[in-house]
Amino acid sequence: MYMQQLIDKLGREKISQDKKVLIQHSKDESIHTAALPDVVCFPESAEDVAEILKIASESLVPVTPFGAGSGLEGQAIPVHKGIVMNFERMNKVIDFSPEDMRVTVQAGVTRLQLNEQVNASGLMFSVDPGADAMIGGMVATNASGTTAVRYGAMRDQLLNLEVVLADGRIIKTGTLAKKSSSGYNLTGLFTGSEGTLGIITEITLKLHGIPEYNMMARCTFDSLECCTRAAQNMLQAGIPVLRMELIDAVSISMINRHSGENFPVKHSLFFEFAGSERAVKEEVELASELMHNHGCENWIAANDTVKMKQIWKARKDLNYAIACQEGIKEIGGDVCVPISLIPELVSFARTRMDASGLNGAIWGHVGDGNFHTSIMYNSSVEGEFETAEQTNDAIVLKAIEAGGTCTGEHGVGLGKMKFQKAEHGAALEIMKQTKRMYDPKGILNPGKIFMDE
C-alpha cells in the first residue's frame, strides 16, 4: 500500500527494493546487528522528504535516515524495518558566501566534498571525525573529532537547519546571522537528535580561514598524571593547538607490534599547531618549554611534510592496529570527562581492560576530555563478547559517575541507550516528552536513543 504511494509520489527512479541495496542500507560501521529495510528512497529535495514522511505518517511506517553509513553506534540501522532514506542525491552546495565565511549545503554533501569546494577560497570546514561523513549525519550525531579542541563540535558550526517534521512540514531553525537571542534554540535541539525528531535536509555552516602554516610535535611521559596535566597546561596558557591527542603506553606497544615500529612505549601526546608562521613557531617553542616543565621526554617537532607524517604515524597506525585483526571485533567507547579526571579514568579503563584478559586500546582528544576505548574480542570465543561489553559498561558508568558523558562524539544510537537514565536522570522524561511531541506516531528512527519508546 505505502509502497505504491511512494512510487506514485516520487517515481520509480527514487526508490529501490533491490536486495543488494537493502543489504547496503542494513548496517553501519558498528558491531550492532544489521536489519534489512523494506525499501530505500533516494530523495532529491526537501519536498521529496516531506512526501515520504507524509506517506510514512499515514501508514505508520518507520523512517530511518542514512548518510555515509560511517556511524559507530547503529543510528542508521533500520531496526524496525520500513523506509530508509539515503541522501546521496541531495549533495549540492546551495549557497557559498566566502566574505561571510558561510556555506549552505544539502544534507548529503560529504565533508571532503565540502572542503574541496571551499578550500580554493582560503576557507575550510573544521570538523574532522576521520570518516568522510555526510554533513547531515554529522549534524544528527553532533560529530566532532581531533580539531574540536580548537574549533568546537558540529553544534558550534551551525547557523541554520532546514528540517522536515514527521508530518511533512518544512521549517528552518535559525537565520544567517552569526548569533541570535530570538525564539527557542531549535538548531541546537535537532543537532544530535539522530533523526528522531525530524529529518535534516539543509545545513548552513560557519567556515574558518585555512591556517597558512602547520607544525606537528610529539612527546612522551612516564605517568598519565604528568601527561594530562601537561595537556591542561597547554589550554590554560591559551595555546590554540589545532589537535592534541593522547595515546596510552599499552596502546603504543600494540602499535609497535602491528607496524613493526619502535615508538617509545610511554604515554604519548601528539600535537598539531596551525596559524601564521611566526605564531606557530612561537607556540611550538612555548609548548616545548611547558611540556619539559611537566617532565616530558622524546620531544620532536617538525614542519616539513615527511617529518610531520613520521611524527603523526603512531596516531595514524593506531586505527589499523585495531581494525586489522582477523576475526577480531571491537566495542568502542568515547566517554568525555572533565580533563582533570583523565588520569583517574584512563587508569580505571586500563585496569579493567587488563583484568578482562582482552586487548584494549586507549587514545583520546585530551583537550576535550574525550577519550576512546576499544576493547577487542573474538566473537567465536564463548563469553568474550560479554566480557568486552561488561568492561565497556564499567568504563562508561565510571565516566558518568565522575560528571562526564557516555558519548563525546559518536552519539547514542543503539549502543548507549542503556546509559541514558544514569546520565540524564529526571531530564530523560523531558527528552521522551520532546520525542512524543515531535513524533507522535513514532515513525522517526524508532528504537534509537530511548530504551522503551
* Minimum distance of its own copies from residue 198's CB (angstroms): 9
| Contact flag: residue 139 with its own copies (CB under 8 A) | no
Binding residues for its own copies restricted to 45-104, rule: CB under 8 A: 97, 99-102
For residue 373, the cross-strand partners are: 333, 362
Question: What are the φ/ψ torsions at residue 164 (nearest 5 degrees)?
Answer: -100, 125
Residue 449 is a binding residue for its own copies (CB under 8 A) = yes
**CA dist 303 → 214, 245, 273, 280, 316 (Å):** 6, 18, 10, 10, 18
Q: Which one, of 333, 328, 327, lies nearest residue 346 by Cα?
A: 333
Stretches 245-253, 303-311, 356-364, 402-410: which one binds its own copies (CB under 8 A)?
Answer: 402-410
Contact with its own copies (CB under 8 A) among 201, 356, 374, 420: 420
Closer CB to its own copies, 42 or 419, in the complex: 419
- State the amino acid at position 8 in one-letter form: D
Cα distance between residue 284 and residue 270, in whole Å? 12
Site size toward its own copies, by CB under 8 A: 90
Q: How far is the CB of 88 from its own copies (least distance, A)?
A: 24
Give me 362's grid cell.
586507549
Residues in the chain: 453
Nearest to 115 by CA among 143, 96, 88: 96
Query: Of the two residues 155 and 258, which places its CB atom closer to its own copies in the complex?
Result: 155
In the complex, what is the shortest distance from the CB of residue 308 to its own copies, in angstroms, rounded to a whole number? Answer: 21
* Rounded-to-10 torsion of CA 277, 280, 282, 283: 180
Binders of its own copies in range 187-216 (CB under 8 A): 187-189, 191-193, 197, 208-209, 211
Contacts with its own copies in 157-186 (CB under 8 A)?
165, 169-173, 175-186
Strand (E) or helix (H) holding 53:
helix 46-59
Question: Does 327 help bind its own copies (rule: CB under 8 A)?
Answer: no
Minimum gap (Å) between residue 416 Cβ and its own copies: 6
Nearest residue (CB) to its own copies, 150 versus 315: 150
Taking CB under 8 A as the rule, does residue 427 contact its own copies? yes
Residue 142 binds its own copies, judged by CB under 8 A: yes
To its own copies, the closest distance from the beta carbon of 351 in angstroms equals 21
Residue 381 as a binder of its own copies (CB under 8 A): the answer is no
DSSP states along 132-162: --BHHHHHHTT---TTHHHH--GGGGEEEEE
| DSSP of 257-317 | HHH-----SSEEEEEEEEESHHHHHHHHHHHHHHHHHTT-EEEEEE-SHHHHHHHHHHHHH
Indicate which single residue of 48, 248, 368, 439 sits in contact with its own copies (rule: CB under 8 A): 368
Q: Under DSSP, is residue 165 helix (H, G, I), strand (E, B) or coil?
A: coil
Beta carbons of 230 and 99 less than 8 angstroms apart: no
Interface with its own copies, residue 409, by CB under 8 A: yes
Residue 333 in the binding site for its own copies (CB under 8 A): no
Q: Which of 4, 12, 120, 238 binds its own copies (CB under 8 A)?
A: 238
